[in-house]
Structure 1
Amino acid sequence: MRSSEGADRGSVTAEAAVAVPALVVFAMALVWALMAASAQIQCVDAARAGARAAARSEPRAAALAAARSAAPEGARVTLGRAGELWRVRVEAKAPG
């Protein structure tokens, strides 16, 4: 019976050696997903702020400034008009 106990002795170490890196990768993926979702929400909020300013007939520079102030750092903001509608586009690189 002792021989079977010795064979199982290193299995916990082997399982931990596989499980710990997998958990680290999973945690990193979750953090990245949260950061990407946060950037997406910031882009939507920035576009909304710019469109609201444009709808209030504020000058184009003021609408762009409103969108840029709410946008993530390094985002590209464009403002255009199609007929009666204003379109604000906010693009930012995904983190990581």
Structure 2
Amino acid sequence: MLALFVLMLIWGLMAASAQLQCVDAARAGARAAARSEPRDDAVAAARSAAPRGARVDLWREGDLVRVRVRTHAVGPGPLAVSLRGEAAALAEDAAGSGGSAARETVP
């Protein structure tokens, strides 16, 4: 019983770590895209911080650049959960003053 608890605890920590990586990767990609770096470079910035095998989506909505990073935490049955991090940044070409503002949402 104790071994099962320890395994569940380790799985939970690994899933939490992957979630944080998704959020950090989305932020890195949004910052790069907001600085008007080429799309491939912004996606590469997000992928370098994302968990292995994560999917990175980058798009623009008006003055905002959005990045979503998605992956799966492996586990048996209901423990195989989807993880996602999303970030948005104001594009510098739209900011006028050259500054950027970032916000994140993590469902």
TM-score interval (norm. to shorter)? 0.7 to 0.9
Are 1:56 and 2:35 an aligned pair?
A: yes
Counterpart in 2 of 1:93? 72
Aligned equivalent of 1:70, options 49, 59, 84: 49
CA shift digits 1:3-23 (9 cap, x unpaired): xxxxxxxxxxxxxxxxxxx11
Q: Which structure's CA Rg is the greater one? A: 1
Are 1:41 and 2:20 an aligned pair?
A: yes
4+ runs of 1 displaced by more than 2 Å? none
SS, match of residue 88 in structure 1? strand
State the distance in 1 between where 2:41 and 2:56 align.
13
State the distance in 1 between where 2:70 and 2:56 align.
7
**Which runs of no fewer than 5 residues in structure 1 stay unpaired?**
1-21
Matched length: 75
Are 1:26 and 2:5 an aligned pair?
A: yes
Does the CA-based 8 Å contact 1:49-1:66 persist in structure 2?
yes
Question: What is the Cα-based RMSD across aligned positions, in Å?
Answer: 0.7
TM-score, with structure 1 as normaliser: 0.76
**Which runs of no fewer than 5 residues in structure 2 stay unpaired?**
76-107
State the distance in 2 between where 1:61 and 1:36 align.
27
TM-score, with structure 2 as normaliser: 0.68
Question: Which has the larger share of helix?
Answer: 1
Counterpart in 2 of 1:79? 58
Q: Identical aligned pairs, as a percentage? A: 71
